[in-house]
Structure 1
Amino acid sequence: MRPTLVFDLDGTLIDTAHDLVATLNVILERENLTALPFENAVSMVGHGARVLIERGLAANAVTREAAIVDRMFDDYIAHYTDHIADLSRPYPGLIAALDHFAAEGWILAVCTNKLEHLSVDLLGRLDLASRFAAICGADTFLARKPDPIALTETIRRAGGVREAALMVGDSKTDIDTAKAAGIPVVAVDFGYTPIPVTELGPDAVISHYDELVGAVTRLRPDLAVAR
């Protein structure tokens, strides 16, 4: 039975915030609204494009009818697709960590609330897609995180089993999803959550990917991850 390691995407595998915020500002400016400073907008990232747009509108102290938000969402996806990897890059140490787990026979997968085609596109442009047995997004299944079905179905699609799986994420959504699925979760503290992950009850916290092997080993020594 091969163990499975499931990763969130934005703020966990890849630092995508600059491209996400840049796209938000393009869409806001098309509506004659004020672009947001990156440092103010980064905490809005991580819950999908529609929520990001709604938060951008709220930051401008305006609302828009649902049909206009729908159009803004479509415009956002179109622009973001063309600029999805302009500035987005893997977090330091990620590639070495993926290499290690792959060499040890682990199945690697992605469970994200980003749309599936955008997730596959981003990881493909960064030459990472082939490393994952499954890349599942907000529209892959009938449920999305924090519904545990999104995680358990990702594991199943990747060829793993829940009993031999762990998750790595950066947010309350990821932690709640893993807990609901009965799966240990490692939180990274360099993601986009405005709440420190130490306050969200993960099973372990890491500050760099060179700490991941040790964290996984402590949580599941029975899965025999070599140091």
Structure 2
Amino acid sequence: MVFPFNVVAFDLDGTLADTAPDLTDALNHVLGELGRPGIPAETVRNLVGHGARALLRKGLAVTGGSTEELVERGFPLFMDFYGRNICKGTAPYPGVEAAMDALAQQGVALALCTNKPESLAVQLIDALGWRGRFRSIVGGDTLPVRKPDPAPLFKAIMDAGGGRAAFVGDSITDADTARAASLPLVAVSFGFSDRPVAELGASAVIDHFDELVPALYQVKR
């Protein structure tokens, strides 16, 4: 059976890897520097998805209120701390590397489309040993717009060679991006979504990466 897609694009945080431990440490470092209490990783999982500034803005909001002055003061602290500690607690989700291998064996090009700044996305992919797996990496600052605008997803797909494509993600941001791009979304149930995964309107939902390739065969373009 011919595989239905030429390119499969992935979100990063909460989709390919559980980055919550390191994001939580970085956020709590900044909150402490700004005189705020820390917040637990389970809360942080619900705040991720729109980039580092948005994560900091949300973290400030739940610990006493956010202002743009505080966000701008805290942002370089976040970037510095996270960049120095980007893969201490982060771990790939079970089965993800086998799923990427299976797609590669089908001749599928892999792309990355994340709202994490491109430099940090590349740094994390390198730390995970995945650089050679991805034909393209598009971050939240690669273009003037970010997800849920479809332009970053289109760029990631085109830079990976183009053709029939699907997106794999975990959040409403990813769902809105896929809809805007008129592409099927396979949603993972174990990610950082701020709502039940059934509410994302995905073409398919998987509970483990063992299910990804079968799900991609079944989804409708």
Task: Name the TM-score class by shorter chain.
Answer: over 0.9
Which SS does the other structure have where 2:99 is aligned?
Answer: helix
User: In the alignment, what sits opposite 2:75?
Assistant: 73
User: In the alignment, what sits opposite 2:85?
Assistant: 83
The CA deviation at 1:142 is: 2.2
For structure 2, which runs of at least 5 residues remain unmatched after alignment?
none
Q: Any idea what the Cα deviations from partners look like across 1:117-144, whole Å, max 9, x if unmatched?
A: 1000001011011100001001112221
CA contact (8 A) 2:11 2:114 kept: yes
Q: Once superposed, which parts of structure 1, at least 4 consecutive aligned residues long, lie more than 3 Å away?
A: none
Measure the CA separation in 2 of the matches of 1:69 and 1:40. 19
Opposite residue 51 of structure 2, the aligned amino acid is: G
> Scaled by the length of structure 1, what TM-score is found?
0.92
Q: How many matched pairs?
A: 218
User: In the alignment, what sits opposite 1:8?
Assistant: 11
Which SS does the other structure have where 2:167 is aligned?
Answer: strand
User: In the alignment, what sits opposite 1:137?
Assistant: 139
User: In the alignment, what sits opposite 1:53?
Assistant: 56
| Pairing 1:91-102 to 2, within 5 Å after superposition | 91-102=93-104
How has the CA–CA distance of structure 1 residues 5 and 55 changed in structure 2, closer, same or farther, with 3 Å as cutoff?
Answer: same
| Pairing 1:36-47 to 2, within 5 Å after superposition | 36-47=39-50
User: In the alignment, what sits opposite 1:213?
Assistant: 213
User: In the alignment, what sits opposite 1:224?
Assistant: none
CA contact (8 A) 2:203 2:220 kept: no
Which SS does the other structure have where 2:111 is aligned?
Answer: strand
CA contact (8 A) 1:19 1:88 kept: yes
Q: Any idea what the Cα deviations from partners look like across 1:41-85, whole Å, max 9, x if unmatched?
A: 321122211111112211222334x33321200110010000000
Q: Any idea what the Cα deviations from partners look like across 1:132-165, whole Å, max 9, x if unmatched?
A: 000100111222111111111111111112xx10
Measure the CA separation in 2 of the matches of 1:23 and 1:83. 8
User: In the alignment, what sits opposite 2:120?
Assistant: 118
Measure the CA separation in 2 of the matches of 1:38 and 1:220. 35
Measure the CA separation in 1 of the matches of 2:109 and 2:22. 29
Q: Any idea what the Cα deviations from partners look like across 1:168-188, whole Å, max 9, x if unmatched?
A: 000111111111111111000
> Scaled by the length of structure 2, what TM-score is found?
0.94
Measure the CA separation in 2 of the matches of 1:120 and 1:11. 16
Measure the CA separation in 2 of the matches of 1:73 and 1:48. 11
The percentage of counterpart residues that share the same residue type is 46
Opposite residue 18 of structure 2, the aligned amino acid is: D
Measure the CA separation in 1 of the matches of 2:31 and 2:206. 35
CA contact (8 A) 1:2 1:105 kept: no
User: In the alignment, what sits opposite 1:225?
Assistant: none
For structure 1, which runs of at least 5 residues remain unmatched after alignment?
222-227
